[in-house]
Structure 1
Amino acid sequence: MPSPCDAQYAPAGNVGAALMLIDSRLKTVYDGKAGTGPEQQQLTDQFAASLGPEEADDLVDGTCTIIYMFIQWLRMAYEDHDRDVIEYVVPSFVASMRMMPKSIRPEVIPTMAGLIVAAGTGLSPNLWRKQYGDWTGEEMNALEATALLLAEHINRLTDDHDFATRMIAEALSSANQD
């Protein structure tokens, strides 16, 4: 019997906008220049302020869809080497989150680890989370950081700074062609 949190029941959300934000943050991490400074932060703040409640929900759903896709790719990559994605991703993910105490509140780290475990077991991260109530403001930075850390993990595995975002962009492009 399928779970009500099964990925097939999840809304995809605005994957394009979520991907744009993740890509911008990755470029900041890799370049050290792009996306830094007050102008970039102002643009990001203006974008967030322009979203109504439905658009904000779509952005959260899109981020969760990307997290799910990243974990599915990682699951297949680790299974090719007879390894478990949860065993190899969650501990380093939690350690990375704990190193960001100014951006990530400690009490949201278990929720974000749960999102990864949910995705690793084929459940939708957003449907899994929603069964515990509405998203909180404190979880938004952590959600973005989760997607960013997973993308960076994939990029490190592939030795390609653009692999994770390119993979999602190509999936979006092929979905639009179908």
Structure 2
Amino acid sequence: MSSPCDPQRAPAGNVGAALMMVDSRLKAIYGGESVADPEEQALTAQFTAGWGPGELDDMLDGACTLIYMYMHWLRQAYEDHDQDVLAVVVPNLVATMRTMTRSVPPEVIPTMAGLLVAAGSGLSPSLWRKQYGYWTSEEMNPLEATVFLLAELINRITDDRAFATRLISEALSVDD
């Protein structure tokens, strides 16, 4: 019996747009900036200005797809070293989010941890989250932070600042 949160049932969403946002944040942080430069912020605002609810839903699904793909990669990497991704990654990311008090309110950390656990267990984070209603505005920055933290973790593990972006880009470019 398949789960209602089976990734095969989940919409992939706009993975490209979600990846662009995460890659932009990674480049800003690696460039020594605490936030994206004003030009980058203006381009992002222009890119998203005309979005309606459908495009926003696609971006949210895309972010959840990134979480799923990153956790899948991390699960394989940790299993190769006889470690459990849920036991290692989730507590570390939760601890990091707890220090990000301006971007991640404490009340949404359990939801972000749930997304990580769902993805690390082979479930769709998007479908898991939708069980509890629509996304709240308070969850938007933490969702972006969660994807960013996963990508940054992968980049640190591989010692390659572009690995997480390339991992997804290459997966998207594979012909079926």
Normalised-by-shorter TM-score class: over 0.9
Distance 1:100 1:35, change over 3 A: closer
Aligned to 2:9: 9
- SS of 1:59's equivalent? helix
The structural deviation recorded for 1:104 is 1.0
- The alignment covers a number of residue pairs equal to 176
Q: Distance in 2 between matches of 1:20 and 1:144?
A: 11
Q: Distance in 2 between matches of 1:44 and 1:104?
A: 21
The structural deviation recorded for 1:42 is 2.5
2:107 is aligned with 1:107: yes
Where does the alignment leave 5 or more consecutive residues of structure 2 unmatched?
A: none
More deviation, 113-122/25-34: 25-34
2:121 is aligned with 1:121: yes
Q: Distance in 1 between matches of 2:34 and 2:102?
A: 21
The structural deviation recorded for 1:99 is 1.0
- SS of 2:75's equivalent? helix
Q: Distance in 1 between matches of 2:153 and 2:121?
A: 19
C-alpha contact (below 8 Å) 2:71/2:120 kept by paired residues: yes
Aligned to 1:52: 52
**Root mean square deviation, CA, Å:** 1.3
The structural deviation recorded for 1:37 is 2.9
Where does the alignment leave 5 or more consecutive residues of structure 1 unmatched?
A: none
2:160 is aligned with 1:160: yes
After TM superposition, the score normalised by the length of structure 2 is 0.96
Aligned to 2:87: 87
Percent identity over the alignment is 68
C-alpha contact (below 8 Å) 2:85/2:120 kept by paired residues: yes
The structural deviation recorded for 1:31 is 1.1
Equivalent positions of 1:133-144 (< 5 A) are 133-144=133-144
After TM superposition, the score normalised by the length of structure 1 is 0.95
Aligned to 2:130: 130
C-alpha contact (below 8 Å) 2:28/2:37 kept by paired residues: no
Q: Deviations over 1:69-97 (max 9, x none)?
A: 00000000000000000011011101111
The structural deviation recorded for 1:50 is 1.9
More deviation, 84-93/26-35: 26-35
1:144 is matched by which residue type in structure 2?
Answer: E
2:68 is aligned with 1:68: yes
